[in-house]
Amino acid sequence: MSKRLVLPFLLFLLTGSFSFAQTPIQKLERAYNSFLADPQTKYAITSLCVLDANTGIPLFMHNEQVGLATASTLKVITAATAFSMLGKEFQFQTTLAYAGSITADGTLKGDLVIIGSGDPTLGSMRYQNKETVVLTEWATAIKKAGIKKIEGAIIGDDRIFGTQITPIGWTWQDLGNYFGAGASGLSWRDNQFDIYLKPGTKQNEAAKMIKTAPDMSYLKIMNELKTGASGTGDNAYVFLPPYGNTAYLRGSWGLGIGKNSISAALPDPAYDCAYRLQDTLKRLGIQTTQPATTTRVMALNGLSLNAETKKISTTSSPTLSEISFWFLKKSVNLYGEAMLKTLALKSGKEASTENGAETVINFWAAKGTDKNALNIIDGSGLSPANRVTTRAMANILFQAQKESWYTDYYKGFPENNGMKIKSGTINNVSAFAGYHTSNAGNKYIIVININNYSGSGINKKLFTVLDALK
């Protein structure tokens, strides 16, 4: 070999050896720096915090003390706090009772009352207490109590969570859609209903609303949807404020779309619950003389609920472990907001979103997390105003491993990119937070977050960064 070739050859060997000997963290740093140079991140703020899951020692950090919008990764903090304060066996209890008296001929001289405790799973298809199951159980209990006629109303009692069912930080575009369903003191059927749609025959032609499921005849739905171009899919939004009775469908429904419906948020879950029970009893021959109502509507009309009620049935929710599983796995915003308000009650305060957020912040501050690193607005992460640092979130994930409930908590983390990491996505925000064990047995806690990125397909690039830890 000539002398002119020796030096380049040696440099090649040295470079190759260096590359081969790189640690996972060195590979991560290279991949992350490459990501930061990507045009999509030019105007973005990106943060990454990786801890050794065994010791909590930081292995790689960048912008770890910058508060960023979390999207749904906030759920990992809400769930951990709920496990800590409520316990994994915690259950909500919904009570069916009556106010008044029952005559010898089976006439209830008074009202049936469904007393909510904040259970977000009542009537949900995800659990044993499905709508038909609950309504059947209630009807059976009513018959067993000897009630054959109701000279009064069926009342949905949602007072426990107050009248502010959606956090103030949520956007108008989100409120009427299923993911924008707020937490009522008497939630029902995941606080949503379905709207079936059909595109027109050509672009910009009016799209058709076929039906709702269940029937929502007490709502007026104004359809302003247009037919979108082929391949544009679902760009339909429901604009329906809490307690409203008029919904507007806006946006587009694409030609050739592979789905036939969207889900909207119930504007008044407590009312819908009472309404469905009234309808069930009517079909069974048990009539009510007054229309279904809620304690909120009664208060608006200067009426109050009879303080003395007699319980005839209690419906227990799934355990917190079961609720948290779907909360994290399917990112159900409603469950997070119900947890947050329940945490406020547990701390001895009024069940408001603000009090719940304060409870979460104070809980982790007592365990060493700087309060200023946790600017929390809601329980689900849907609010774009949430600001949490990746270091604070990583620290909470680390502490969770030490708890007796950790196994149940961990089960709910979805698998993304071959890792147990919760995703979070809102407008121009993408984040992941969770746990990973590499092929070599190294255990990591990972929190990565990018705000204000450009374009689409950012998750694949985030995964390319995280692949260094595999």
Residue 288 in any domain: the answer is yes
Query: Which residue, 265, 287, 306, sits at the end of a domain?
Result: 265
Same domain, 325 and 435: yes
Residue 14 in any domain: the answer is no
Residue 425 in any domain: the answer is yes
pLDDT at 307: 81
Residue 56 in any domain: the answer is yes
pLDDT at 306: 83
Q: For residue 327, give the nearest of 83, 76, 88 by alpha carbon.
A: 76
Q: Which residue range forms the structural domain that includes residue 280?
A: 93-163+268-316
Residue 129 in any domain: the answer is yes
Residue 7 in any domain: the answer is no
- Parallel, antiparallel, or unpaired for β 220-223 and 246-254? parallel
Same domain, 127 and 222: no
Residue 4 in any domain: the answer is no
Same domain, 124 and 195: no
Tell me if the bond preceding 214 is cis, omega within 30° of 0. yes
- Single-letter amino acid, residue 270: A
Same domain, 360 and 239: no
- pTM more than 0.75: yes
Find where tokens 């070739």 sit: 5
Same domain, 192 and 332: no
Whichever domain contains 114, its CATH number is 3.50.80.20
3-state SS, residue 391? helix
Whichever domain contains 71, its CATH number is 3.40.710.10
Same domain, 346 and 456: yes
CA angle centred on 242, ends 250 and 295, rounded to 5°: 155
Q: For residue 164, give the nearest of 137, 182, 144 by alpha carbon.
A: 182
Same domain, 435 and 459: yes
* Measured CA distances, 169 to 173, 182, 250, 386 (Å): 12, 12, 22, 9
Q: What is the DSSP letter of 62?
A: E
d(CA 458, CA 430): 8
Query: Which residue, 257, 281, 316, sits at the end of a domain?
Result: 316
* Total of domains in the chain: 3
Same domain, 144 and 241: no
| Tokens of residue 71, six digits | 């999207």
Same domain, 104 and 156: yes
Same domain, 287 and 410: no
pLDDT at 14: 45
Residue 234 in any domain: the answer is yes
Same domain, 152 and 276: yes
pLDDT at 186: 98
pLDDT at 4: 44
d(CA 451, CA 69): 7
- Single-letter amino acid, residue 199: P
- Parallel, antiparallel, or unpaired for β 246-254 and 226-228? parallel
pLDDT at 20: 56
User: Tens-digit pLDDT profile for the chain (470 aa)?
Assistant: 444 444 444 444 444 444 456 899 999 999 999 999 999 999 999 999 999 999 999 999 999 999 999 999 999 999 999 999 999 999 999 999 999 999 999 999 999 999 999 999 999 999 999 999 999 999 999 999 999 999 999 999 999 999 999 999 999 999 999 999 999 999 999 999 999 999 999 999 999 999 999 999 999 999 999 999 999 999 999 999 999 999 999 999 999 999 999 999 999 999 999 999 999 999 999 999 999 999 999 999 999 988 899 999 999 999 999 999 999 999 999 999 999 999 999 999 999 999 999 999 999 999 999 999 999 999 999 999 999 999 999 999 999 999 999 999 999 999 999 999 999 999 999 999 999 999 999 999 999 999 999 999 999 999 999 999 99
E-strand stretches of 116-255: 149-150, 154-157, 192-198, 208-213, 220-223, 226-228, 234-239, 246-254
The separation between the first and the last C-alpha atoms of the chain, rounded to the nearest angstrom, is: 39
205-237 burial, b at 16+ Cβ within 10 Å, e below that, comes to eebebeebeeebeebebeeebbbbeeebbbebb
3-state SS, residue 403? coil
Same domain, 100 and 64: no
